Amino acid sequence: MELTDQQRERLKALEELVKLGINPFPPEEFEVNVTAKDILDNYERDKLSYKNISIAGRLMNRRIMGSASFAELQDGTGRIQIYLKRDEICPGEDKTLYNRVFKHLMDIGDFIGVKGYVFTTQTGETTVHVKSLSLLSKSLRPLPVVKTDSEGKTHDEFRDVELRYRQRYVDLAVNEGVRDVFMKRTRIINSIREFLNGKGYLEVETPVLQPLYGGARARPFKTHHNTLDMPLYLRIANELYLKRLIVGGFEGVYEFAKDFRNEGMDRFHNPEFTQMELYVAFKDYLWMMNLVEEMVEKVALDIHGTTQVKYGDNILDFCRPWKRYTMYEAIKKYAGLDIEGTDEDQLEKYCRQLSIKTDKSMGRGAMIDEIFSTTCEPNLVQPVFITDYPVEMSPLAKKHRSKPGLVERFEAICNAKEICNAFSELNDPIDQRQRFEEQLKLHDRGDEEAMVPDEDFIRALEYGMPPAAGLGAGIDRLVMIMTNSPSIQDVIFFPQMKPERK
């Protein structure tokens, strides 16, 4: 690999450090007793506690002024200014550490540890006065730290999204706010987990490698197990395993699952994504709607302290209750079409009117789904529930108690995208087998996302599953909304990328 001039200079600096007897990657522990945020938040009201501090992080910039320097250190909580004076960190005659090491052999991006005390400069900036300095790790590549020239123009900004997603380690190091998104992601997951645990539900784990893929309409990733000499699939959902646990006697189970779908990629889709699925016995989809409202409202309050969340140009309000439309009502409202009772031929005509492409693999459910996605979803900005879907679209949902041809299903939609999907779960094994057979017919017509029959799951239902409500919540999309992130790649540490061009 060809090196840049800056990389060559850093390698030379590495060699010089070794000649001076300084290990550029020392093995010893450097004890830290404070963070940048702690100092900045608390120093003014408790100055006596910061007379003997030890802090470590990246060297992010420096201003060398002869025998003294100011620099900026960045740890996991933020940045703080440090002040170094040659005669204090190099007592006596030997000024090597400051004159050669700090001024010429250390670089932006190096990890350093400093010990000293905190004071306030004449300009009012809280600063660490360094009494001793240690090099903890040498950076051999220059960070793209933002620089401002004499005309006020900025340079070396790390803004190219492909580079940011591919080199997340650099993105986190130099772009303020990126770490905050991922810290909020963890808080969102913890908020949901706290909510569900408080209800008494059990967090469980189910297989990622499955002999049959099921629980959703999607194309799977396929692999092969050598010892068993059998194909396996990365799960597209964990629904069928969680419902087996309901059969077994658990009355409330949930899982934060990594799911995998072999589908297109855009700012709302990544082949690997995180989903939380919940199943509760003796409940129905109406009960689950109320729980979703309560849960997402809690997340907004935990993260923002308010139910109103800014996303792009919109203010989304998650305060309960949310609006509710049936799917047919939504299509009639936004597309001006009454599709109740329509057959495939009529739906195909409607699709042509709306310039929606169809093919022979699409059944009635797929065409209704396309009409809804095209005409309704773009208008659904505030959180809303869309309920009562056609039976063809929902092979795992229970038939509607009073509306023939529909199932008891809802989707929670916000910012024009689904964030939750839920059913009154189908627990009739005879009906379930028939639904799987209908899916098999669609698969034979060329529908690659049609579900495959799962005989063991049907066998489980034959032992008896209590009525239950089930939920799948897209964690990545919820995090996008709660952090005002425009793309799913912004809320996944390491999103899938095309092979890097050399």
Q: State pLDDT tens for residues 239-261.
A: 999 999 999 999 999 999 999 99
Q: State pLDDT tens for residues 266-295.
A: 999 999 999 999 999 999 999 999 999 999
Burial of 87 per CB tally in 10 Å (0-12, 13-18, 19+): exposed
Quick one: pLDDT at residue 452? Answer: 85
Closest CA to 270 of 498, 450, 492, 448: 492
Residue 30: is its pLDDT beyond 70? yes
Residue 49: is its pLDDT beyond 70? yes
* Three-class secondary structure of residue 45 per DSSP: helix
Residue 60: is its pLDDT beyond 80? yes
| Domain residue ranges in the chain | 5-143, 178-322+382-490
Quick one: pLDDT at residue 309? Answer: 98
Place of tokens 């939380």: 276
Secondary structure string (H, E, C) spanning 355-396: CCCCCCCCCHHHHHHHHHHHHCHHHCCCCEEEEEEEHHHCCC
Q: Are 365 and 442 in contact (CB under 8 A)?
A: no
DSSP 4: P
Q: Is this model's pTM higher than 0.95 or not?
A: no
Quick one: pLDDT at residue 147? Answer: 66
Q: Kindly state the tokens that stand for 95.
A: 């000024």
Quick one: pLDDT at residue 454? Answer: 93
Q: Are 415 and 311 in contact (CB under 8 A)?
A: yes
φ, ψ for residue 312 (rounded to 5)?
60, -125
Bridge partners of 433, per DSSP, are: none
Q: Kindly state the tokens that stand for 93.
A: 């005659």
Q: Kindly state the tokens that stand for 110.
A: 């190096």
Quick one: pLDDT at residue 148? Answer: 63
Quick one: pLDDT at residue 91? Answer: 67
Residue 398: is its pLDDT beyond 70? yes
Q: What is the CATH number of domain 178-322+382-490?
A: 3.30.930.10
Average pLDDT over every residue of 393-412 = 94
Closest CA to 57 of 165, 118, 139: 139
Residue 203: is its pLDDT beyond 90? yes
Burial of 311 per CB tally in 10 Å (0-12, 13-18, 19+): middle
Q: What is the CATH number of domain 5-143?
A: 2.40.50.140
Q: Are 390 and 406 in contact (CB under 8 A)?
A: yes
